[in-house]
Amino acid sequence: MLRRPALRIAGIAATLFAALPVAGAASPPPDTRVVIQYVISMIGVPVGRITWAVELGPNSYQTTASGKASRAVSILVNGEGRVSVLGTFAADRAAPSFFSSNVIDDGDTTGLQMTFDSGSVKTLRIDDPPDHAIRIPVTEEHKRNVTDPLSAMLIPATVESPPLSPGQCNRSLSIFDGQRRFDLMLSYKRMDRLKLERGYNGPALVCAVVLHPIAGYRTDSLLVKYVGGRQGLEIWFMPIEGTPIVLPGLLKMPTGVGTLEIEGQRLERTVLKPPIPAPPAEPGPVR
């Protein structure tokens, strides 16, 4: 997927990309599975892929994202990995309870597990190769009132804010991926139209995004240099039929070396069948 500093950006889309119930809805949505395949491109040249799967229940969600990017864009993205999240629905946000990631970068594997309690990190375990880089320290305060990169992209619809209303963009996301803490400031930009190769062709809510690195970054981070604090980053959200959520269909990230795009190609939605009830027990012998 993305290099460790940029994995969080894919988590935005992807990076790349669960659900919340509609406030005041008459009934919860059926259990649904959504799978979106994305292609990563740099200045129009495909350099990687991401698959994002989301399973939605009326009171919980489970989501995974996995992918790989080539060395053609190693200045910003490189390597492969997998991210998994479990969570429940709380108020108007997805509340993660468990987050794990495994990222392979330049032959080194970083394994990470994190649990949350009431929006703050409760436990954190990292199996990381030696890192002698100078980084901005992460404090305990940086781990409070945060979410993970995937849950951050699970945008809820409510009675006050329908799925594609401009107000959905007006939010600040405090994100911690286990190593780096950053904020994403979203604001409404425009309405547009998005067409995937398969699975969606319709309106899209375009949010302008500004990335603010907070802590955990290398002092010489190229992501911070080329992306942090800059204008022009966009996320295009699309509604998911039969659910009260919107998910990213396209991310555009201008950088000093070209525009990085994470674009949805195929979307598949499946209503999960309820479990088959166990057959009744055979009656025992009459005594």
Q: What is the pLDDT of residues 56-75, one digit of tens each?
A: 888 789 999 998 876 544 44
How many distinct structural domains can be found in the chain? 1
pLDDT, mean over the chain: 80
pLDDT value for 107 = 63
Q: Taking a C-beta distance cutoff of 8 angstroms, is the pair 226, 196 a contact?
A: no
Q: Residue 250: helix, strand or coil by DSSP? A: strand
Buried b or exposed e, range 159-193, using 16+ CB within 10 angstroms? eebebbeeebbebebbbbbbbbbbebbbeebeeee
pTM, whole model, 2 decimals? 0.81
Task: Provide the 10 A C-beta neighbour count for residue 115.
Answer: 15
CA 142, CA 263: separation in Å to the nearest integer? 31
Residue 122 within a domain: yes
Residue 75 within a domain: yes
CA-to-CA separations, 237 to 31, 191, 262, in angstroms, rounded = 21, 10, 12
* Proportion of the chain in helix, strand, coil states, percent, rounded to 5: 10, 55, 35
The residue-averaged pLDDT of 269-283 equals 63
Q: How many alpha carbons lie under 13 Å from residue 88 in its C-beta half-sphere?
A: 9
Domain that holds residue 152: 4-271
Residue 286 within a domain: no
Residue 277 within a domain: no
Residue 174 within a domain: yes
Residue 190 within a domain: yes
Does the CA dihedral 143-126-220-46 come out positive or negative? negative
CA 223, CA 188: separation in Å to the nearest integer? 24
Residue 248 within a domain: yes
Main-chain dihedrals φ then ψ at residue 173, nearest 5 degrees: -115, 120
Of 257, 279, 283, 269, the C-alpha closest to 36 is 269
| pLDDT at residue 245 tops 60 | yes
Main-chain dihedrals φ then ψ at residue 128, nearest 5 degrees: -120, 140
CA-to-CA separations, 157 to 21, 43, 79, 108, 171, in angstroms, rounded = 7, 33, 34, 40, 13
The residue-averaged pLDDT of 247-265 equals 89
pLDDT value for 73 = 46
Residue 282 within a domain: no
| pLDDT at residue 281 tops 90 | no
The residue-averaged pLDDT of 94-104 equals 90
181-226 confidence digits (pLDDT tens): 999 999 999 999 999 999 999 999 999 999 999 999 887 777 777 7
**Tokens matching residue 16:** 């790349």
